[in-house]
């Protein structure tokens, strides 16, 4: 039974929905970015989900034979146990000799020695297989990758180095895809001598070094050689042991220069292998003087090694290499996904608080600025005061709406303090006093009321005063200013006297006609000093000959 593994697509969708909710309801970056950010979030989420879907589908397709073989091989292993058993991917040379064991069809899985060994014929398939194994093992990646190196299968060191660089890139890609560093191991299969030990099992014993950390240094490698030399002194089959120890020292040095150098060279573009172990065994394909290791021996000793026959299959898997394999702390993918979801919610909450704090600061700054602007405008600039007053009324209505219907999310989270400004807004609005209205004015043509040069009302002229009487009666209590004006014909002093006399005559008639006390009237003659048109035309002079009746509101009436 295959478990679900880490729900990466679900987490991506959850993160996208969470980001959209915060962005739309809290608007931490402002309204101007809302649509652009929404499109960006949707594009990124869709791309990630699509990429993940294609990657999983490709991994399952590429790994379908391995998954079937795993299912058949582990059918009797409890599900909880198989996730704890070390699972090692084996790639490189001579995999048929390691896995098939005389079977009619290629074997992809071998279970033994407390581990699951998985065959990967092409190093380029390591990323897909590693991803499929992480799904199969309930989110746990493979425990390591063993690179099988059989030098005798390569024509020269350059051809081998090219294969090693491919394996290096494949392991880097696999580690990146599964999100964990995969420990790397090197197993060298090489016939080191033509001699046959008395105990056939001696030729199938690994000389290895491994650790729970990526540490393959010169001291550890030398320890392998020293142990082989010490064993040769105690071995009853001394001749084989001595030749084997000398050959081992040579193949180990060659491995360090050629294999380790290619896999760990920092000048190469791919991530260096994290080497956790290496092993050598006197077992492998047929070899002769034209193979890479033998050529290296000739360069250093001037002696051509003899040809050797291939070791009959099966060849042993490098079990000693993985005995010190680091063990990962197992965590359920659902638990990890839940922890990630909680972390995302914490980030969303942080963004919401930051956005709410920013919006509240902007709200308070705006209202304070509107209050200050209104307070600085002089009372005689009524247009500017009315404009500022409209802003205050809009602010007051906004805060009042929040008080009645609730504070929006972008201002809430306990950071809203707008209600504290309502009293100040109401006080500023109530303090506004409109300017006094302009006085009501009735302008009468002097020639329709008086004869030329006269200050006595003509008979029948009262009909022209009906509008003035109605205006005065409609505003009882108002002071009445009667001003007389003339054109510039004649003497200026005479014109001033005439205009004042005509205003007085009109006052006397209005007192008699309306019964208004004389104390409410004021009379003023201006002569020709306040023309409203040019005196160089008859039409202009006619307009300048006038009497104006003005109702002046009292200041007390305005303030009340």
Pairwise CA distance, residues 74 & 76, whole Å = 5
Res 1 pLDDT > 60:
no
What's the confidence (pLDDT) of residue 331?
64
| Contact (CB, 8 A) for 366 and 394 | no
Q: What is the pLDDT of residues 194-223, one digit of tens each?
A: 877 665 555 578 888 888 877 666 567 777
| Contact (CB, 8 A) for 411 and 418 | yes
Pairwise CA distance, residues 357 & 57, whole Å = 45
β strands within 458-557, DSSP E: 479-485, 521-527, 546-552
pLDDT higher for 286 or 104? 286
Q: What is the pLDDT of residues 476-504, one digit of tens each?
A: 878 899 999 999 888 889 989 999 999 99
| Contact (CB, 8 A) for 110 and 99 | yes
What's the confidence (pLDDT) of residue 465?
84
Q: What is the pLDDT of residues 253-282, one digit of tens each?
A: 899 889 999 998 888 888 899 899 999 999
Res 18 pLDDT > 70:
yes
Q: What is the pLDDT of residues 346-399, one digit of tens each?
A: 998 888 888 888 888 989 999 999 999 999 998 888 889 999 999 999 999 999
Pinpoint the alpha helices (H) of 179-237: 218-234
pLDDT higher for 94 or 447? 94
Res 2 pLDDT > 70:
no
pLDDT, mean of residues 12-30: 83
Provide the 8-state DSSP code for 322.
Answer: G
Confidence of residue 115 (pLDDT cuts 50, 70, 90): confident
Q: pLDDT > 90: what percent of the chain?
A: 30
Q: What is the pLDDT of residues 129-169, one digit of tens each?
A: 998 888 787 778 899 999 999 999 998 999 999 999 999 99
Confidence of residue 241 (pLDDT cuts 50, 70, 90): confident
Rounded to 10°, the helix 422-430/382-405 angle is 140
Query: Which residues are bridge partners to 457 per DSSP?
Result: 450
Task: Calculate the CA 453 to chain-centre distance.
Answer: 90
Residues in the chain: 560
Contacts 24+ apart (CB under 8 A), 500-508: 500/524, 500/525, 501/455, 501/525, 502/446, 502/449, 502/450, 502/455, 502/547, 503/547, 504/455, 505/450, 505/455, 505/456, 505/457, 506/444, 506/449, 506/457, 506/465, 506/482, 506/547, 506/549, 507/480, 507/482
Confidence of residue 120 (pLDDT cuts 50, 70, 90): very high
Largest CA distance in the chain: 162
What's the confidence (pLDDT) of residue 203?
58
- Helix and strand tally (H, E) in the chain? 18, 11
Domain ranges of the chain: 74-330, 339-430, 440-559
What CATH number was assigned to the domain covering residues 440-559? 3.30.1330.60
| Contact (CB, 8 A) for 86 and 210 | no
Pairwise CA distance, residues 246 & 256, whole Å = 16
The Cβ of residue 480 has, within 10 Å, a number of other Cβ atoms equal to 22
Whole-number Cα distances in Å, 289 to 94, 148, 149, 253 = 20, 21, 18, 18
* Phi, psi of 323, rounded to the nearest 5 degrees: -65, -30
Residue-by-residue DSSP string for 129-180: HHHHHHHHTTTPPPSEEEEEE-GGGSSSHHHHHHHHHHHHHHHHHHHHHHTS
What's the confidence (pLDDT) of residue 559?
41
* Phi, psi of 208, rounded to the nearest 5 degrees: -140, 165
Res 236 pLDDT > 60:
no
What's the confidence (pLDDT) of residue 220?
73
| Contact (CB, 8 A) for 100 and 91 | no
pLDDT higher for 328 or 25? 25
Q: Which two tokens stand for residue 185?
A: 């191991």
What's the confidence (pLDDT) of residue 166?
95
Q: What pTM was computed for the model?
A: 0.58
Pairwise CA distance, residues 358 & 29, whole Å = 9
β strands within 349-501, DSSP E: 440-445, 479-485
What's the confidence (pLDDT) of residue 415?
84
Task: Calculate the CA 560 to chain-centre distance.
Answer: 60
Q: Which two tokens stand for residue 380?
A: 């005689």
What's the confidence (pLDDT) of residue 93?
95
Pairwise CA distance, residues 32 & 14, whole Å = 24
What angle is formed at CA 321 by the lines to CA 315 and CA 322, rounded to 5 degrees?
110
Average pLDDT, the chain: 84
Cβ within 8 Å of residue 107, ≥6 positions away: 69, 99, 100, 101, 119
């Amino acid at each position: 039974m295959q478990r679900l593994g880490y729900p990466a697509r679900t987490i991506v969708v959850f993160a996208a929905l969470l980001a959209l909710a915060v962005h739309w309801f809290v608007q931490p970056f402002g309204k101007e970015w809302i649509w652009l950010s929404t499109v960006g979030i949707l594009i990124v989420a869709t791309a990630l989900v699509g990429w993940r879907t294609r990657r999983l589908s490709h991994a399952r397709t590429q790994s379908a034979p391995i998954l079937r073989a795993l299912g058949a091989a582990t059918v009797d292993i409890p599900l909880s146990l198989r996730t704890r058993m070390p699972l090692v991917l084996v790639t490189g040379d001579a995999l048929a000799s390691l896995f098939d064991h005389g079977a009619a069809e290629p074997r992809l899985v071998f279970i033994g020695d407390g581990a699951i060994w998985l065959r990967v014929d092409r190093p380029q398939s390591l990323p897909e297989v590693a991803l499929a194994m992480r799904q199969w093992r309930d989110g746990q990646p493979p425990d390591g990758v063993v690179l099988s190196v059989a030098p005798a299968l390569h024509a020269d060191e350059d051809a081998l180095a090219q294969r090693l660089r491919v394996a290096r890139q494949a392991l880097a890609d696999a580690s990146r895809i599964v999100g964990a560093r995969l420990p790397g191991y090197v197993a060298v299969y090489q016939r080191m001598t033509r001699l046959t030990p008395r105990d056939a099992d001696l030729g199938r014993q690994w000389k290895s070094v491994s650790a729970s950390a990526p540490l393959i240094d010169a001291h550890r490698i030398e320890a392998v050689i020293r142990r082989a030399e010490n064993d040769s002194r105690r071995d009853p089959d001394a001749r084989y042991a001595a030749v084997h120890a000398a050959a081992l020292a040579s193949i180990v040095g060659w491995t360090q220069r050629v294999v380790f150098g290619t896999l760990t060279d920092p000048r190469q573009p791919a991530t260096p292998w994290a080497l956790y172990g290496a092993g050598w065994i006197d077992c492998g394909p047929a070899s002769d003087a034209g193979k890479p290791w033998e050529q290296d021996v000739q360069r250093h000793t001037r002696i051509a090694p003899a040809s050797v026959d291939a070791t009959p299959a099966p060849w042993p898997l490098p079990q000693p290499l993985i005995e010190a394999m680091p063990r990962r702390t197992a965590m359920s993918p659902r638990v990890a996904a839940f922890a990630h979801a909680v972390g995302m919610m914490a980030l969303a909450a942080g963004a919401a608080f930051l956005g709410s704090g920013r919006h509240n600061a902007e709200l308070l700054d705006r209202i304070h600025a509107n209050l200050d602007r209104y307070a600085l405008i002089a009372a005689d600039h009524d247009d500017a005061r009315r404009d500022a007053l409209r802003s205050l009324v809009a602010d007051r209505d906004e805060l009042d709406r929040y008080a009645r219907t609730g504070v929006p999310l972008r201002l809430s989270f306990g950071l809203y303090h707008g209600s504290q400004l309502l009293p100040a807004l109401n006080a500023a609005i109530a303090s506004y006093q409109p300017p006094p209205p302009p006085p009501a004015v009735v302008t009468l043509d002097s020639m329709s009321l008086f004869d030329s040069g006269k200050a006595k009302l003509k008979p029948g002229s009262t009909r022209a005063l009906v509008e003035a009487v109605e205006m005065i009666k409609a505003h009882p209590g108002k002071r009445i200013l009667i001003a007389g004006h003339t054109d510039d014909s004649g003497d200026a002093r005479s014109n001033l006297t005439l205009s004042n006399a005509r205003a007085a005559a009109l006052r006397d008639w209005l007192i008699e006609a309306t019964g208004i006390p004389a104390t409410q009237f004021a009379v003023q003659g201006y002569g020709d000093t306040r023309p409203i048109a040019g005196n160089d035309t008859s039409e202009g002079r006619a307009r300048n000959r006038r009497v104006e009746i003005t109702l002046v509101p009292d200041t007390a009436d305005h303030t009340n």
